[in-house]
């Protein structure tokens, strides 16, 4: 058995032996009993609408801020654990009741409207969005990183724009791993059972009021799939779950871990998502006019649509069915490297599907496998989900202009040899982020004050937004930023306070954290997955030069790091350990921290509170990147290699660039790293640090604030998910 397989077997074994008679959670919907005037809190806790309306979040938090923090901002858990006395205090608080009443009115207004029709897209025929992960809020831990957060933001904007839309995904019982750092700086993983806590999920029932159950046959066994509903504003997100007692114990773990299994587990997960997802929509009477495959994981849905079409018209062939499927499906690719795309060994794939299913496609076995190859003739090629998705969709797109270009080159082999790279039919829609989710509440107040309560509307119009932001006084932007920065520093002190390590020489746990970090000091954030191409080690490549900046008495720099390494990626874990164990005679221990367990909560604080956001991917491997977009709309300045979205975003005034515009030819990776590291240190020393510490008579860094405003002006509209979803609607869904 190879390494990955044996690790997985261990995970499965541990999980199974932990709970031989696996308990099944049937529902989460027991509401807390509340005084009638507070009962709306139950409704609100059941719709993630609250998560992007700050006044809703504070409605919960203000009842018991300490509990809100320990509950990790999970309102269902919070309401369950709330003390009676707190509840009745609020029931007797006139101002509080007035706040609830107002919010309830807004909420009802928001959720009551019918979705806006767009051509063939209407309530009965919505866009159905399929994705393997969703990052809506940290209280629903079914995401690992960028792809999931993007999907969450896509749903929220579809809701705000009132587009007829449903989401389909998987309910991973154990989610993605939680990160622990051991004494010696080595990453350890553990998994929490999502069913042991409260979640904002409702069981989906059939017309008889029974639990909706759909079935599919995989690996020769029938597997039952039940469904949970997560409400995301006006949007329904259906999450499929195999952990029911009807299933064989092994099958209960199909929706166990996100990206945790071996290749066979991946196949069956993707069968549940693609085929199961279509069946769930049918059972609910939803007839999507567009299926959006967000990344290749859900591409098996195209086969299910083909099978349906063949059943409906027995005289038709697979080629006919394929035309009908292509008409309905659109595909977004997210990976600029070959190895990042799922491929499966044909025999394993065949065993998972079973011959009955494959026969129903009316394809000779060899033609079936050709659907998943870049070159159909090449019998040694494994079955790829991206080639399948590209073949079966009427549209394919990358997630930034550059990534579109890279994808056309990467998948050129699928098209006739005479096809020039620029004629490969892969377009691009650049990613964006959901402004109300990511913008700091205090900054939103500044927008309300100076732009108006309809600032979100103004934001949709680029010209109006630019003019409006110009009117905001420097002082107010700076004040909002300072508060967010202080809040970030408090979080850093809280999270790094020593728990159990005996080693004082790492930057993730400290005996005392009161002197850690200084709100006056230039703060640079660097948080992302730890993968080779993200080049975590670039900043460490000249330690002496780095520490000289950190130690500077007059103009020091401090760094906050966060991110996870894939459990099987030992090389990435070594890079992390190297960073965590830098131990020099310097102020590094007080001016650098690593926050374990990077998730949406940590991300919210980071993107709002840092002065500078650094990103140094190896070009052109950052398909888009979105964390820098969140920072930009909070007035933080991006300091990044020109790759992914930053190629489109950078204008010379709204942040900083690292390295040249294009990689010089004929340089090795090592030489490119050296070049970029040199540029990184140079820009820090000569531009960023001097500009940040240059104050005017009022004590404000005027030149710096001008850049912050320029960032907010030029990047918020362009990289908002409202812009992104509008682009999808106009250029992809309606085309």
Stretch that binds ligand PLP, among 141-149, 189-197, 224-232, 579-587 (CB under 6 A): 141-149
Output the CA torsion 332→337→340→341 (10° steps): 50
Stretch that binds ligand PLP, among 143-151, 292-300, 548-556, 658-666 (CB under 6 A): 143-151
Neighbours of 354 (CB within 10 A): 15
* Binding residue (CB under 6 A) for ligand PLP from 289, 496, 626, 711: 626
In the complex, minimum distance from the CB of residue 291 to ligand PLP, in angstroms, rounded to a whole number: 25
The answer to the question of residue 616 lying near ligand PLP (CB under 6 A) is: no
CA distance 731 to 104: 36
* Binding residue (CB under 6 A) for ligand PLP from 141, 274, 288, 625: 625
**Exposed e or buried b per residue across 457-493, where buried means at least 16 C-beta atoms within 10 angstroms of its C-beta:** ebbbeeeebbebbeebebeebbebbebbbebbbebbb
Report the SS3 class of residue 159: helix
Distances (CA, A) of 684 to 78, 523, 545, 619, 707: 43, 12, 11, 20, 15
CA angle 687, 401, 721 (to 5 degrees): 85
In the complex, minimum distance from the CB of residue 707 to ligand PLP, in angstroms, rounded to a whole number: 20
The answer to the question of residue 478 lying near ligand PLP (CB under 6 A) is: no
Structural Rg of the chain based on CA atoms: 26
In the complex, minimum distance from the CB of residue 605 to ligand PLP, in angstroms, rounded to a whole number: 11
- Phi and psi torsions of 348, nearest 5°: -65, -40
Stretch that binds ligand PLP, among 40-48, 287-295, 593-601, 676-684 (CB under 6 A): 593-601
CA angle 426, 429, 432 (to 5 degrees): 150
CA distance 354 to 204: 28
User: Toward ligand PLP, which CB reaches closer, 498 or 529?
Assistant: 529
* Binding residue (CB under 6 A) for ligand PLP from 600, 634, 710, 721: 600
In the complex, minimum distance from the CB of residue 668 to ligand PLP, in angstroms, rounded to a whole number: 25
CA distance 56 to 44: 8
User: Toward ligand PLP, which CB reaches closer, 145 or 277?
Assistant: 145
In the complex, minimum distance from the CB of residue 150 to ligand PLP, in angstroms, rounded to a whole number: 8
In the complex, minimum distance from the CB of residue 623 to ligand PLP, in angstroms, rounded to a whole number: 8
In the complex, minimum distance from the CB of residue 388 to ligand PLP, in angstroms, rounded to a whole number: 25
Site track 524-563 with ligand PLP (rule: CB under 6 A), x = hit: ----x-----------------------------------
Residue 551 parent element (H or E): helix 543-551
The answer to the question of residue 156 lying near ligand PLP (CB under 6 A) is: no
The answer to the question of residue 603 lying near ligand PLP (CB under 6 A) is: yes
- Is-contact 630 603, C-beta < 8 A? yes
Please name the residue ranges forming H helices in 136-210. Answer: 146-160
User: Toward ligand PLP, which CB reaches closer, 468 or 616?
Assistant: 616
In the complex, minimum distance from the CB of residue 606 to ligand PLP, in angstroms, rounded to a whole number: 8
Residue 557 parent element (H or E): strand 557-562
In the complex, minimum distance from the CB of residue 603 to ligand PLP, in angstroms, rounded to a whole number: 3
Q: How many residues does the chain have?
A: 735
Site track 628-657 with ligand PLP (rule: CB under 6 A), x = hit: x-x---------------------------
* Binding residue (CB under 6 A) for ligand PLP from 165, 238, 594, 598: 598
- Is-contact 482 519, C-beta < 8 A? yes
CA angle 10, 11, 14 (to 5 degrees): 80
Residue in the block written with tokens 């030992």:
570
User: Toward ligand PLP, which CB reaches closer, 363 or 527?
Assistant: 527
Distances (CA, A) of 687 to 657, 693, 704: 11, 10, 10
- Is-contact 391 426, C-beta < 8 A? no
Residue 235 parent element (H or E): strand 235-241
- Phi and psi torsions of 179, nearest 5°: -100, 130
User: Toward ligand PLP, which CB reaches closer, 145 or 436?
Assistant: 145
The answer to the question of residue 599 lying near ligand PLP (CB under 6 A) is: yes
Question: What is the distance between the terminal CA atoms of the chain, rounded to a whole angstrom?
Answer: 47
In the complex, minimum distance from the CB of residue 444 to ligand PLP, in angstroms, rounded to a whole number: 18
- Helix, strand, coil % over all residues of the chain, rounded to 5: 50, 15, 35
In the complex, minimum distance from the CB of residue 313 to ligand PLP, in angstroms, rounded to a whole number: 43
User: Toward ligand PLP, which CB reaches closer, 573 or 630?
Assistant: 630
Site track 365-404 with ligand PLP (rule: CB under 6 A), x = hit: ----------------------------------------
- Chain centroid to CA 234: how far? 20
User: Toward ligand PLP, which CB reaches closer, 240 or 603?
Assistant: 603
In the complex, minimum distance from the CB of residue 625 to ligand PLP, in angstroms, rounded to a whole number: 4
- Please report the beta strands in 36-155, taking only residues with DSSP state E, as ranges in sequence order: 127-130
The answer to the question of residue 136 lying near ligand PLP (CB under 6 A) is: no
User: Toward ligand PLP, which CB reaches closer, 231 or 528?
Assistant: 528
Residue 281 parent element (H or E): helix 277-283
User: Toward ligand PLP, which CB reaches closer, 598 or 681?
Assistant: 598
User: Toward ligand PLP, which CB reaches closer, 239 or 602?
Assistant: 602
* Binding residue (CB under 6 A) for ligand PLP from 41, 149, 181, 396: 149
User: Toward ligand PLP, which CB reaches closer, 523 or 627?
Assistant: 627
In the complex, minimum distance from the CB of residue 434 to ligand PLP, in angstroms, rounded to a whole number: 10
- Is-contact 691 701, C-beta < 8 A? yes
User: Toward ligand PLP, which CB reaches closer, 346 or 644?
Assistant: 644
The answer to the question of residue 145 lying near ligand PLP (CB under 6 A) is: yes
User: Toward ligand PLP, which CB reaches closer, 405 or 599?
Assistant: 599
Stretch that binds ligand PLP, among 124-132, 248-256, 596-604, 670-678 (CB under 6 A): 596-604
318-328 and 385-392 helices cross at what angle (nearest 10)?
A: 90
Q: How many chain residues interact with ligand PLP (CB under 6 A)?
A: 13
Tell me 340's DSSP state: G
User: Toward ligand PLP, which CB reaches closer, 485 or 534?
Assistant: 534
Count helices and strands in the chain by DSSP H and E runs:
33, 20
- Cα-Cα-Cα-Cα dihedral sign, residues 46, 49, 50, 56: negative
In the complex, minimum distance from the CB of residue 724 to ligand PLP, in angstroms, rounded to a whole number: 14
Tell me 733's DSSP state: I
Cis geometry, peptide bond prior to residue 620 (ω within 30 degrees of 0): yes
In the complex, minimum distance from the CB of residue 561 to ligand PLP, in angstroms, rounded to a whole number: 13
Q: Which residues bind ligand PLP (CB under 6 A)?
A: 145-146, 149, 528, 598-600, 603, 625-628, 630
């Amino acid at each position: 058995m190879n390494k990955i397989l044996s690790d997985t077997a261990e995970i499965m074994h541990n999980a199974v032996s932990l709970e031989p008679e696996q308990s099944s959670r049937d529902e989460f919907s027991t509401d807390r009993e509340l005084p009638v005037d507070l009962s709306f809190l139950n409704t609100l806790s059941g719709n993630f609408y609250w998560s992007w309306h700050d006044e809703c979040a504070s409605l919960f938090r203000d009842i018991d801020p300490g509990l809100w923090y320990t509950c990790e901002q999970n309102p269902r858990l919070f309401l369950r654990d709330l003390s009676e006395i707190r509840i009745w205090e609020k029931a007797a608080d006139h101002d509080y009741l007035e706040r609830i009443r107002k919010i309830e009115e807004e909420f009802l207004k928001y959720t009551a409207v019918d979705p806006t029709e767009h051509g063939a897209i209407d309530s009965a025929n919505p866009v159905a969005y399929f994705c393997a992960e969703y990052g809506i809020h940290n209280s629903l831990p079914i995401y690992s990183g960028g792809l999931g957060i993007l999907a969450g933001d896509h749903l929220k904007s579809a809701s705000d724009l009132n587009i007829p839309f449903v989401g389909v995904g998987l309910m991973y019982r154990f989610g993605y791993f939680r990160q622990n750092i051991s004494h010696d700086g080595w990453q350890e993983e553990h998994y929490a059972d999502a069913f042991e806590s409260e979640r904002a999920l409702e069981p989906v029932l059939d017309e008889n009021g029974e639990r909706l159950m759909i079935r599919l046959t995989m690996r020769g066994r029938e597997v039952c799939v039940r469904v949970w509903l997560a409400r995301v504003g006006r949007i329904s997100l259906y999450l499929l779950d195999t952990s029911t007692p009807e299933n064989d114990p092994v099958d209960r773990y199909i929706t166990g871990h996100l990206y945790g299994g071996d290749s066979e587990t991946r196949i069956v997960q993707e069968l549940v998502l693609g085929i199961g997802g279509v069946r769930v929509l049918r059972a609910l009477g939803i007839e999507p006019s567009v299926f959006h495959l967000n990344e290749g994981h859900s591409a098996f849905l195209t086969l299910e649509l083909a099978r349906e079409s063949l059943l409906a018209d027995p005289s038709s062939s697979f080629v006919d069915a394929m035309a009908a499927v292509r008409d309905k499906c659109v595909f977004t690719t997210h990976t600029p490297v070959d190895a990042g795309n799922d491929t499966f060994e044909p025999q394993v794939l065949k065993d998972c599907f079973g011959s009955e299913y494959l026969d129903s496609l009316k394809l000779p076995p060899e033609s079936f496998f050709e659907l998943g190859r870049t070159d159909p003739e090449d019998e040694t090629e494994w079955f790829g989900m991206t080639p399948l998705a590209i073949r079966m969709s009427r549209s394919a797109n990358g997630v930034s202009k550059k990534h579109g270009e890279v994808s056309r080159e990467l998948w050129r082999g699928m098209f006739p040899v005479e096809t020039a790279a620029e004629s490969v039919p892969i377009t691009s829609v650049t990613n964006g982020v959901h402004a109300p989710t990511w913008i700091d509440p205090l900054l939103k107040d500044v927008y309300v004050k100076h732009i108006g309560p309809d600032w979100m509307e103004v934001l949709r119009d680029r010209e109006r937004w630019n003019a409006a932001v110009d009117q905001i006084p420097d002082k107010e932007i700076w004040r909002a930023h300072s508060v967010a920065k202080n809040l970030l520093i408090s979080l850093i002190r809280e999270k790094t306070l020593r728990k159990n390590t005996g080693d004082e020489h790492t930057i993730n746990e400290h005996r005392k954290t009161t002197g850690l970090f200084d709100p006056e000091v230039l703060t640079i954030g660097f948080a992302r997955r730890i993968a080779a191409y993200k080049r975590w080690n670039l900043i460490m490549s000249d330690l002496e030069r780095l520490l000289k900046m950190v130690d500077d008495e007059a103009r020091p720099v401090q760094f906050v790091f966060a991110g996870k390494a894939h459990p099987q990626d030992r090389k990435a874990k070594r890079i992390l350990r190297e960073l965590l164990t830098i131990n020099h005679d310097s102020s590094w221990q007080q001016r650098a921290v690593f926050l374990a367990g990077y998730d949406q909560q940590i991300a919210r604080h980071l993107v709002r509170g840092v002065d500078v956001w650094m990103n140094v991917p190896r070009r052109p491997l950052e398909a888009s990147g979105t964390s820098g977009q969140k920072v930009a709309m909070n007035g933080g300045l991006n300091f990044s290699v020109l790759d992914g979205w930053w190629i489109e975003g950078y204008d010379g005034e709204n942040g900083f660039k690292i390295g040249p515009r294009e990689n010089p030819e004929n340089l090795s990776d090592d030489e490119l790293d050296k070049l970029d590291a040199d540029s990184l240190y140079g820009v820090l020393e000569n531009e960023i640090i001097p500009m940040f510490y240059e104050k005017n008579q009022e004590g404000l860094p005027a030149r710096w604030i001008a850049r912050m405003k320029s960032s907010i002006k030029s990047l918020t509209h362009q990289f908002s998910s409202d812009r992104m979803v509008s682009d999808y609607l106009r250029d992809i869904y309606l085309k």
